[in-house]
Structure 1
Amino acid sequence: MLQKCPGISLHRIAALPCPDVGTDPNPLVELPLVTSCANAQSLRTTLHAVLGSQLRGYGLALDPVRQLATVTLHLHLGDVEQTMRCLMAALPTAQFGCIAKIAMNEVRRCH
């Protein structure tokens, strides 16, 4: 089971306002990934350095026993291909999950 500490388990950047989900040609999506991680701050630094302005927000949960991190990246659909290329170069052990649209009217819990 993933252990969560409210101080380090989730980092959010406020999503920019966007049009209705059905009309946006470049909607926000979630890209989940799992990667090895011994240091959460190092992983965060890597994400920001590699993705820069493509990154619209993310959630981070750590499993310290297995030294794994589960990350849910928030980015625009048009940035997915480039993001995956950058992440594969920077995090060669990363495993990606299925991409899902983010509905801006969803209520999301912070912790």
Structure 2
Amino acid sequence: MPSRSTRPVDPLDDDDYPAYTMGRAAEMIGTTPAFLRALGEHRLITPLRSEGGHRRYSRYQLRIAARARELVDRGTSVEAACRIVVLEDQLEEAQRINERLRGHGGGQQQAT
């Protein structure tokens, strides 16, 4: 599953805070609880569980689920959509690392 590394102090500002029930999460992204369960089965998102065992989703997980839903709506299988989203996330992370390395003096060009 795509992951995030920075966490704000206030849970209301935290994209990783598991604030949404399955029903609310499904409603927010225009899908069904079964779709969210399928994403979990394919290990794209792993919701946290409340003390009562209910799935709870974060805003970050909902963005990931919404991207998968877009792909499925275009005819991609759930399994393939999950793989595509993971690869997109890995590419984005690699690009962030590249930019950070370039910005810190790596590979500066000389003026001619």
TM-score above 0.5:
no
Which has the larger Rg? 2
Higher relative contact order (CA 8 A, sep 6+): 1
TM-score (norm 1): 0.25
Greater fraction strand: 1
